Amino acid sequence: MSFDPELDRAVRLAAFKWLDLQKAVHGEVLPRSILEAGFQFAGNRVPILGPQGIFKPKVLSEIPLSITTTPGGPYDDELRDGSSVIHYRYRGTDVGHHENVGLKNAHQTQTPLVFCYRVTPGSYVVSYPVFVCGNSPANLTFDIQLDDEVALNRYAESKSGIDLLETAIHRRYITINAKRRLHQVAFRERVLKAYQTRCTLCRLRHGALLDAAHIIPDGEPDGLPEVSNGLSLCKIHHAAYDLNYLGITPNFKVEVRKKLLDEIDGPMLQHGIKALHGESLTLPRSKADRPSTSRLEARFERFLNAEK
């Protein structure tokens, strides 16, 4: 199939529009089944992703539609906080592999792609448009940056590629913030899945009302985005935990601040917080996902100090 730039552009724009609709229906995290099924374009099925990380559907001839990162996977693509690019590894070590050549072409033509980041098995956050902004054959990596709707509109209206130099600073800013957001979304999804989408204190199961709370706050030396540093809490109990209205002991028991226990107020305080005093957490089935006792101990010390 010879390269048809207008067809290529039309397919990508249709893909971005379709993804907008899916996110409006399903939220920020999309099931792999939906992305694999894709959409119809001129009688052809167009999946967003496939078995390989660098994916080009049959309707396209030269340049991939998407790239996928699986944290801890065989290519272990980097999403380092603070870096203004995503380092995306080549397919294998063959610079001339057709998938690597496809991303090289995306770099040269500044063709937008979809970036699929797996947050849990079968669930992905999709970001678009993303652009290949660098190519390092010696390190077998491409540099990827995210952009926004302004770049997408320019791409839709222009017959040529996008000037990388004009948007370099803008893309750096967007990419740094997008990477932070990816970490936050991934942390929330993994924590809520470990707790079977319920509050560890009150057992509330409405996902929209649940947060992934850090035991050791994000940004501190031990505040890593690991499930063992997280608690699935409803929004009321998350706020109460952050404000030290209640604490959690290293043996997974709830303690409520003494001043609150002595306070007389409405049913929310009585049944929603005070009644939890002495109760045990509902823990994940996997021991590896359970709260780190050393982190709980350090956080509980802060709770005790706040009582003084």
> Which run of H or E residues covers position 212?
strand 210-214
The H-assigned helical ranges of 139-203 are 149-157, 164-194
- Specify the pTM: 0.80
Q: What is the C-alpha separation between 50 and 213, in angstroms, rounded?
A: 33
- Identify the pLDDT of residue 79: 58
Contacts of 247 (CB under 8 A, 6+ apart): 241, 254, 255, 257, 299, 300, 303, 304
Q: Residue with structure tokens 């601040």?
A: 257
Whole-angstrom CA distances from 162 to 61, 82, 102 are 20, 25, 18
**Is the C-alpha dihedral spanning 139, 141, 142, 145 positive or negative?**
negative
Task: Give pLDDT < 50 ranges for the chain.
Answer: 75-76
Query: What letter represents residue 116's amino acid?
Result: C
- Identify the pLDDT of residue 183: 82
Q: Strand pairing partners for 235? A: none
- Identify the pLDDT of residue 162: 54
- Dig out the tokens for 28 from the structure: 């920020």
Q: What is the C-alpha separation between 118 and 68, in angstroms, rounded?
A: 8
- 115 burial (CB, 10 Å; 0-12 / 13-18 / 19+) is buried
Closest to 231 in 3D by CA, of 302, 155, 292, 176? 292
- Identify the pLDDT of residue 154: 76
Question: Beta strands 210-214 and 141-146: pairing type?
Answer: unpaired
Contact in structure between 112 and 151 (CB atoms under 8 Å): yes
Angle at 180 between CA 177 and CA 182, to 5 degrees: 110
Closest to 51 in 3D by CA, of 91, 89, 21, 15? 91
- Identify the pLDDT of residue 155: 76
3-state secondary structure of 7: helix
Residue 187's Cβ-side half-sphere holds a number of Cα atoms within 13 Å equal to: 21
The number of beta carbons lying within 10 Å of the beta carbon of residue 118 is: 19
Whole-angstrom CA distances from 300 to 70, 169, 223, 239, 253 are 34, 42, 15, 15, 11
- Identify the pLDDT of residue 86: 86
The number of beta carbons lying within 10 Å of the beta carbon of residue 187 is: 20
- Identify the pLDDT of residue 171: 83
Terminal alpha carbon distance of the chain = 74
Q: What is the C-alpha separation between 85 and 134, in angstroms, rounded?
A: 9
Percent of the chain with pLDDT over 90: 63
